[in-house]
């Protein structure tokens, strides 16, 4: 019996005056990779943001459970501490905070343990090497002047350094060239193991080359319109979303 990590039940959520998610239910076990597909504007990013506790969204109904505990009242940092990680569709630039400092602070905040600078730096350099990132990036301000692809790669660096239990990846592969998608996909597959899970929003099946999708959910206008195994990805690629409407 697999251990349940995330459970969402009949989730209704949105912004002031607008319902975006209209009854989403979803369950992710440890060790699994789930993929969320859906046309632009169907509510995919909203779902990720609501799971992470983004204050801009309001949950009107339904529950979000993480390891059996209702987390819907928790702040984003409290959810991060429980082991939830969100990689943004459009990562923010943070002038004045270097990549290394941000990562060290984030890991200390999540684990509650002091990081020894030299050991941390060594691990960071090694991890950056696996993502083919130049070591000089660790001294640069977070995402400032980074290309789209570098920002996405930096999100995977965060994933590998923070080692959450649940990785929410919102189009981490979009806008990347073929080689960069391979690197991102390799990074996610290095992260993934039997004790964690990934929920991946993508339009590009290449990110799944190094990962086996256990379950696919298609979001259409704020509801799950279809669910299935990896074969659903092929069907959508072939026939589009129109058949599901």
List residues near Mg ion by CB under 5 A: 44-45, 89
Task: Decide which of ligand ADP, Mg ion, none touches 56; Cβ closer than 5 to 8 Å per partner kind.
Answer: ligand ADP
Q: Identify whether the C-beta of residue 186 lies closer than 8 Å to the C-beta of residue 167.
A: no
Angle between helices 117-130 and 178-191 (to 10 degrees): 130
Angle between helices 148-162 and 178-191 (to 10 degrees): 10
Find the shortest distance in angstroms from Cβ 90 to ligand ADP: 10
CA distance 142 to 158: 11
Count of helices and strands (H, E) across the chain: 7, 12
Q: Identify whether the C-beta of residue 196 lies closer than 8 Å to the C-beta of residue 30.
A: yes
Find the shortest distance in angstroms from Cβ 115 to Mg ion: 32
Q: What's the farthest any 2 CA atoms get from each other in the chain?
A: 55
Task: Decide which of Mg ion, ligand ADP, none touches 46; Cβ closer than 5 to 8 Å per partner kind.
Answer: ligand ADP
Comparing CB distances to ligand ADP, the nearer of 1 and 242 is 242
Binding-residue pattern over the window 7 to 46 for ligand ADP, x denoting contact by CB under 6 A:
--------x--x-x-----------------x-xxxxxxx
CA distance 68 to 7: 8
Comparing CB distances to ligand ADP, the nearer of 36 and 103 is 36
Residue nearest to Mg ion (CB): 45
Comparing CB distances to ligand ADP, the nearer of 4 and 58 is 58
Comparing CB distances to ligand ADP, the nearer of 46 and 172 is 46
Beta bridge partners of 142: 94
CA distance 233 to 209: 12
Comparing CB distances to Mg ion, the nearer of 89 and 185 is 89
CA distance 76 to 168: 13
How many of the chain's residues bind ligand ADP (CB under 6 A)? 12
Task: Decide which of ligand ADP, Mg ion, none touches 87; Cβ closer than 5 to 8 Å per partner kind.
Answer: none
Task: Decide which of Mg ion, ligand ADP, none touches 83; Cβ closer than 5 to 8 Å per partner kind.
Answer: none
Q: Which of 7, 65, 61, 59 is nearest to 34 (CA)?
A: 7
Task: Decide which of Mg ion, ligand ADP, none touches 41; Cβ closer than 5 to 8 Å per partner kind.
Answer: ligand ADP
Q: Which of 9, 106, 137, 17 is nearest to 62 (CA)?
A: 9
Find the shortest distance in angstroms from Cβ 43 to ligand ADP: 4
Q: Does 202 bind ligand ADP (CB under 6 A)?
A: no
Comparing CB distances to ligand ADP, the nearer of 18 and 69 is 18
Residues found near ligand ADP in the complex (CB under 6 A)? 15, 18, 20, 38, 40-46, 56
């Amino acid at each position: 019996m697999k251990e349940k990590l995330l459970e969402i039940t009949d989730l209704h959520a949105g912004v002031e005056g607008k319902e975006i998610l209209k009854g989403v239910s979803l369950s992710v076990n440890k060790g699994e990779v789930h993929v969320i597909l859906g046309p632009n504007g169907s509510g995919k990013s909203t779902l990720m943001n609501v799971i992470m506790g983004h204050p801009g969204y309001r949950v009107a109904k339904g529950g979000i459970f993480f390891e059996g505990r209702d987390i819907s009242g928790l702040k984003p940092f409290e959810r991060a501490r429980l082991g939830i990680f969100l990689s943004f569709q459009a990562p923010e630039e943070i002038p004045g905070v270097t990549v290394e400092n941000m990562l060290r602070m984030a890991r200390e905040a999540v684990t509650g343990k002091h990081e020894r600078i030299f050991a941390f730096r060594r691990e960071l350099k090694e991890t950056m090497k696996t993502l083919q990132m130049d070591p000089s990036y660790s001294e640069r301000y977070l995402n400032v002047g980074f290309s789209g692809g570098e920002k996405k790669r930096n999100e995977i660096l965060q994933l590998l350094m923070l080692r959450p239990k649940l990785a929410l990846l919102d189009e981490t592969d979009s806008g990347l060239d073929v080689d960069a998608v391979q690197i991102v996909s390799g990074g996610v597959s290095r992260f993934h193991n039997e004790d964690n899970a990934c929920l991946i929003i993508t339009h590009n099946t290449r990110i799944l080359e190094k990962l086996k999708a256990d379950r696919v959910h298609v979001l259409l206008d704020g509801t799950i319109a279809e669910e299935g195994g990896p074969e659903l990805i092929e069907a959508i690629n072939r026939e589009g979303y129109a058949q599901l409407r």
